[in-house]
Structure 1
Amino acid sequence: MQNEPLAYKMRPKRIDDIAGQKHILGPDTPLYKMIEKGHVPSMLLYGPPGVGKTSIANAISGSSKIPFFALNATHAGKKDIEQVVMDARMSGKVILFLDEIHRFNKLQQDTLLPHVENGSIVLIGATTENPFHDVNPAIRSRCGEILQLERLTEQDVLQLLKKALADEERGLGRLAIHATDEQLERIANAANGDARKALTLLESVYYASDEIDGTTRLNDNAIETLAKRIGVFGDKGGSNFYNLLSALQKSVRGSDVNAALYYLAHLLESGDLIAVCRRLLVMAYEDVGLANPAVGAHVQAATEAAVKLGLPEARIPLAAVVVEMCLSDKSNSAYQALDAAIHAIHEGKTGNIPNHLKDAHYAGAKELGHVGYHYPHDTPIGTFGGWVKQQYLPDELEGIEFYKPVIAGEEKRMAAIYEKLKSFKS
């Protein structure tokens, strides 16, 4: 059909035609060799939109010569699955490509999985969500291969664009088109590793450009204008979004300002301002912590301001605190100490609260032995405030240390106080 989108027409027919993904389908990989010999295992394809999940499934079918059926788990019903099962019985074996497999319900699963087990249906599931979080374990256990697809490199996309311009049967090769290398590079760069977006943008730019002397010359202004409309890398609420949050936090923890701002930009473009603000607050206490306690208040103020301002102005206070956290002294000692205490409790390291620490604000407390507490504020010690030597941990845990100070920033001063107080106890 002439009106089919270019991205659809350019889908690979064999695995040798697949753009990128050489780490799983290169000529030297086990999967490539299996498919070339006609053996196709059930598998899960995991990756962001536009990296070629549907294309790979089609190409595997083309290389293996096994009949191919495609369904979407969101819309497919029991009857759709039963129809595929009937076709499998007639053909001996079929490939079922099931998009959005993380949405597969139990009724669909019960209908399909016995036939996956007996080998009459080869299941190729596709998902943008982490299969270990969102795909039913029963499905995962029947898919021998869980393949994480990588976003295409700019060079991969560039080669695909040139192939589309040259292909006379499925691409634009029958048309007189003039495109400079620089223009194709800009289209590849704008697509951000998404093959579908790259081909769609190329096709749109072609139709938005003028024909001069029988040749359509791609228009620079059309590229610039249309590139802004194709969206960015990041699916709000999906696995990719959480990967971006993770990358932001790890970049801040690693004090890489440029990387942190890059991931912040992607996250803000996704539009989920609240999730970004929540993660920044966590980071202030998890990664900066006691080394710079003021950062927590700064991030709280910045995130409150961001929510009140809304996007795009929200980016201004958030950028400031991201840079501040990147370049701040850092410590995770406080929450690590708490986690150590929680772990000790789970291991059964508990004991009775010392009597002098128990509540004594009621008649009869003295008769129960809840006496002997010394009020530290009554015993000043230098400029520190009040301190008195007395036991606080249960007898069974006396002497245990959960807190291990990090000698960084403001915590360096706190660590010195901690060690001094330890010496008073001995």
Structure 2
Amino acid sequence: MHNEPLAFRMRPETIDEVIGQEHVIGNNTPLYRMIKNGHVPSLLLYGEPGIGKTSLAYAIAGTSKLPFIALNATVAGKKDVEDVVKEARMTGKVLLFLDEIHRFNKLQQDTLLPHVESGSIVLIGATTENPFHDVNPAIRSRCGEIVQLKRLQPKDLLELLERTLKDEKKGLGKETIEITTEQLEKISEGVNGDARKALTFLESLLAASDEEDGKIIVEDALLTQLLTRISLLGDKKGSHHFNLLSALQKSVRGSDVDAALYYLAQLLEIGDLTAVTRRMLVMSYEDIGLAAPDVGSRVLAATDAAQRLGMPEARIPLATAIIEMCLASKSNSAYKAIDAATKTLHEKPTGEIPMHLRDTHYSGSAALGHGGYVYPHATPVGTFGGWTDQQYLPDSLVHSKFYTPVEAGEETRMAAIHQRLQSFKGKKNPR
């Protein structure tokens, strides 16, 4: 009788047992050959949940025979890292698998990274987040390769399920199970490329099936019922959940009310109200933006109400906000403008702030050359308020343009103001 979950028991023990990921660990890949020849490089494994990051790390450890330690960066502390360092000093080399590596804090890094650089610790990190965005550059620079794993194909999952049913040591080979190839194919196609989910589903399916004369018999009706359930709900933190959030945003952006409500209903059934309300608030500024600037405050009110009410009542203010966003005028100009400014900040030297914009609220500022600022409110321009022609950007960026108006909804009025202010430049007395 096994106590561990089936998905845990069926982890590959060597790289020859890994299913799928031929582009990474196939027999002819450089990584496979390196490990077989006794060299294990530090790696970053990147990909969706359930596609084999942890399994691959365990398989590499089993093949290399290196002392193996597994930590999760979300709960590991400095002492845990220090223990890894001590082990490396005692044994000469340690293979450290660090899950959720994007959560690795600076204190942990300072303790560990010199030993990774010296080679006494081989680091295999795993993350579901884009390592170029979310993993610290200090870690990335010490990992020889960033390996992106792919979602497993139905044929890979079918192979895994068949192997599990035959394996007498770790799997279900000692059980008498009546399940057809067609039923296994349905499981393989219904779990969205997730090996862990495939094995967990098989385990649950067998537990729910009837047993006759010591034989477990899998019925099509039960299989279909369970598959429909996981297809609808998915995993709260899995890839299907993020696909639903993406589909919701793209449906609102495309002004399709019915599709947006359909995906909202699925997300609310999953039960992650926080993720839904957060995404809706982002959408109100990213996709509606300046075309209907009041929508953001109304979506905030709706999401706050939803959080206070909880389900099932939360669906009402959220549906109201979704419909309003679908039918609102849309502009992404503000979102694109801040990204353009950020891109310039990273790609060009930081410009010097003009002297007339610098702080003058202290004695001695004039001696530093600060001053000369002209107060715009002192020169009214029609009903706009005040405006004066003076430079605000650094000299090196004086001709940069980040904001491009979109003539939609309320932003049409703003675009006209923006264009008129641009026409004033170079004029001493604009009217």
- Same fold by TM (over 0.5)? yes
Q: 1:337 to 1:87 in 2, by over 3 A?
A: closer
Larger-gyration structure (1/2)? 1
Find the counterpart in structure 2 of residue 143 from structure 1: 143
Task: Say if 1:191 and 1:198, in contact at 8 Å, map to a contact too.
Answer: yes
Find the counterpart in structure 2 of residue 357 from structure 1: 377
The farther-off stretch of 138-147 and 393-402 is 393-402
Structure 1 residue 309 corresponds to structure 2 residue 329: no
Task: Say if 1:209 and 1:222, in contact at 8 Å, map to a contact too.
Answer: no
The farther-off stretch of 249-258 and 178-187 is 249-258
Task: Say if 1:354 and 1:392, in contact at 8 Å, map to a contact too.
Answer: no
Structure 1 residue 77 corresponds to structure 2 residue 83: no
Indicate the SS of the match to 1:44.
Answer: strand
| RMSD of aligned Cα (Å) | 4.7
Aligned-partner Cα distance in 1 for 2:276–2:194: 24
Give matches, 1:167-182, under 5 Å.
167-181=167-181
Q: 1:402 to 1:225 in 2, by over 3 A?
A: closer
Q: 1:208 to 1:336 in 2, by over 3 A?
A: closer
Instruction: Give how far 1:224 is off.
Output: 3.7
The farther-off stretch of 257-266 and 52-61 is 257-266
Instruction: Give how far 1:69 is off.
Output: 1.4
Structure 1 residue 348 corresponds to structure 2 residue 378: no
Instruction: Give how far 1:392 is off.
Output: 0.7
Aligned-partner Cα distance in 1 for 2:199–2:339: 50
Task: Say if 1:69 and 1:97, in contact at 8 Å, map to a contact too.
Answer: yes
Instruction: Give how far 1:252 is off.
Output: 4.2
Give matches, 1:250-265, under 5 Å.
252-253=252-253
Aligned-partner Cα distance in 1 for 2:81–2:417: 68
Find the counterpart in structure 2 of residue 53 from structure 1: 53
Task: List gaps (5 residues or longer) in structure 2.
Answer: 358-371, 425-429
Q: 1:191 to 1:402 in 2, by over 3 A?
A: closer
- 1:24-63 per-residue CA deviation (whole Å, 9 max, x = no partner) reads 3344543233334332211122344432222101222344
Q: 1:280 to 1:199 in 2, by over 3 A?
A: same
Instruction: Give how far 1:162 is off.
Output: 2.6
Aligned-partner Cα distance in 2 for 1:19–1:113: 31
Aligned-partner Cα distance in 2 for 1:336–1:402: 8
Aligned-partner Cα distance in 2 for 1:152–1:211: 31
Find the counterpart in structure 2 of residue 362 from structure 1: none
- Length, aligned pairs only: 395
Aligned partner letter, 2:66: P
Aligned-partner Cα distance in 2 for 1:198–1:339: 40
- 1:371-399 per-residue CA deviation (whole Å, 9 max, x = no partner) reads x757x5xxxxxxxxxx48x9613444699
Find the counterpart in structure 2 of residue 393 from structure 1: 388
Q: 1:37 to 1:408 in 2, by over 3 A?
A: same
Find the counterpart in structure 2 of residue 88 from structure 1: 91
Instruction: Give how far 1:296 is off.
Output: 3.7
| Paired-residue identity, % | 57
The farther-off stretch of 403-412 and 205-214 is 403-412
Find the counterpart in structure 1 of residue 42 from structure 2: 42
Instruction: Give how far 1:169 is off.
Output: 4.2
Find the counterpart in structure 2 of residue 368 from structure 1: none
Task: Say if 1:253 and 1:287, in contact at 8 Å, map to a contact too.
Answer: yes
Task: List gaps (5 residues or longer) in structure 1.
Answer: 359-371, 377-386
Find the counterpart in structure 2 of residue 199 from structure 1: 199
Structure 1 residue 25 corresponds to structure 2 residue 6: no
TM-score after normalising by structure 1 = 0.70
The farther-off stretch of 185-194 and 65-74 is 185-194
Instruction: Give how far 1:182 is off.
Output: 5.4
Task: Say if 1:168 and 1:174, in contact at 8 Å, map to a contact too.
Answer: yes
